[in-house]
Amino acid sequence: MKQRWRLFGQCLFRLIIVGCIALAISGLFNVYYGLGFVIVALLIEVCVHVISGVRMLEWLTGSDVTRIPMDQSELWRKVFDRMYENRKALITNTRRLEEREARYLKTLSAIPEGIVLVKNDWVLSWWNPRAEELFGLRGERHVGRHLLAVIDDRALINYVRGEQYDAPLIWQRPGSNQRIEIRIVVADANNALIVARDVTEQERLHATRRDFVANVSHELRTPLTVLSGFIEMARQGAEINAHIKPQHLDLMRDQAERMQRLVDDLLTLSRLEMSENTQEPERIAMDELVSSILSEMRIVDKGMHSLSGELTPATLVGFKDEIRSAVQNLMTNAVRYTPEGGSVIVSCRTNADGTVQVSVKDNGIGIKEEDIPRLTERFYRVDKSRSRATGGTGLGLAIVKHVLMHHKGQLQIESEAGKGSCFTLRFPGADTNASNR
């Protein structure tokens, strides 16, 4: 307020001076000279203000705002000072906002999800590299265009137009097996955010979990049904023929053993997947381990097949129980799927590259080529009826796969329908394995 009165006083003082000079000129000469002086003085004052205004405009539109024109009246000097402070604050705030926006955009660019910013009725404003990959957006070519003019997909168009964004859209990306979860977050009337996340693997895991539960339930249903039926007969006091009773007991025992094998395999598989092994890795003489398994298999097989071994010294470092389980599963499968009188050959050797190789070869029923990639899936069976008849749980090769993963090994399968199969395990040798642990 004080500054305002001061500036008003300066203007009033100049007017009084001009008036006094004009009266003096009128008295000395005539009134017209005095009036002319007033007009000229007013014109000069207007010109000074116009020139100052033009200089301010040039100063505001110029690139260098740090230099203020010095030859100004006090009034305009105050105006320039105030404009300078305001513009300086504006530039500082603008730079701060630009830096903050750059940080936000850099952060959004690093996010693994696809991010698309849209404005004013779904007009594309910005997107990160992941969104560019998912939606096929390309730089300046698509900035400013309508979202639905760029992405020609009926499901996505209906989702955007439906304006029901509480639930996400699971979008099947055209031309691929990718499934993308689309979420739209509306910030205000003029801004929205589209978040795209690849859920292909997540959905695959959900499907695997559902299939696993369904398969376990299916595998347990038959033995439980048999046991429940006999228990109910006994509970009701049904008379059973003495000749048939031993058969019923044998069947109950077989079904109980089948459930026990299934539970044991599930626990083994779970332990392998979670890498829960409290034992320390040890040096394993693979030729001796394979020889002991071969001896056990001969006892169980009771001479129904020709079981032979081609064993040479081989050593690796690992978990003996897990490797025994893997080799035993392969040999059990070979016997199970080889007709009576067939042959099974197990070999063990150290390769030239230092890896330890264990192979189980049979001349059984073999496997079709299209089935080989799925053999290590849980509960996958090439011939479901034959597998259940031979007592398999459908988890053997899944266990083998996880044992190999735990030991950084590899599985090779060679088979032809009707001509037998050869399953080969390759493990890092003792020196290599020890150096990796």
pLDDT for the residue numbered 434: 46
Q: What is the pLDDT of residues 6-39, one digit of tens each?
A: 656 666 777 777 777 777 777 667 777 777 777 7
When the candidates are 3.40.30.10, 3.30.70.20, 3.30.450.20, 3.30.70.120, the CATH number that belongs to 111-198 is 3.30.450.20
pLDDT for the residue numbered 361: 94
Nearest to 379 by CA among 396, 356, 363, 365: 396
Q: How far apart are CA 266 and CA 116, in angstroms?
A: 44
Cα–Cα distances in angstroms (integers) from residue 373 to residues 119, 381, 420, 427, in the given order: 48, 12, 17, 20
pLDDT for the residue numbered 436: 47
Tokens of 72: 């100004």
Would strands 114-119 and 123-127 be described as parallel, antiparallel, or unpaired? Answer: antiparallel
Q: How much of the chain exceeds pLDDT 90, in percent?
A: 14
pLDDT for the residue numbered 11: 66
Q: Which fold has domain 202-273?
A: Helix Hairpins (1.10.287)
Q: How confident is the model at residue 383 (pLDDT cuts 50, 70, 90)?
A: low
pLDDT for the residue numbered 161: 83
Long-range contacts made by residues 387-395, C-beta under 8 angstroms, separation at least 24? Answer: 388/222, 390/336, 390/337, 391/254, 391/258, 391/261, 391/336, 392/333, 392/336, 393/219, 393/258, 393/261, 393/262, 393/265, 394/215, 394/219, 395/262, 395/265, 395/266, 395/268, 395/269
Average pLDDT, the chain: 79
Q: Supply the pTM of this predicted model.
A: 0.53
Domain 282-436 listed as CATH 3.30.2420.10:
no
pLDDT beyond 80 at 424: yes
pLDDT for the residue numbered 345: 93
Q: What is the pLDDT of residues 139-174, one digit of tens each?
A: 777 888 888 788 777 888 888 888 888 888 888 877
Q: How far apart are CA 113 and CA 196, in angstroms?
A: 6
Q: How far apart are CA 321 and CA 282, in angstroms?
A: 11
pLDDT for the residue numbered 255: 77
Task: Please give the average per-residue pLDDT across 342-352, as a whole number.
Answer: 92
pLDDT for the residue numbered 295: 92
- Domain boundaries, given as residue ranges, for the chain: 2-95, 111-198, 202-273, 282-436
Q: Are 322 and 406 in contact (CB under 8 A)?
A: yes
Q: How far apart are CA 393 and CA 265, in angstroms?
A: 8
Q: What is the pLDDT of residues 266-324, one digit of tens each?
A: 777 777 777 666 678 889 999 999 999 999 989 888 889 999 999 999 999 998 888 99
Neighbours of 270 (CB within 10 A): 11
pLDDT beyond 80 at 45: no
Q: What is the pLDDT of residues 53-106, one digit of tens each?
A: 777 777 667 656 566 665 566 666 677 777 777 777 877 888 888 888 788 777
Task: Please give the average per-residue pLDDT across 322-346, as a whole number.
Answer: 90
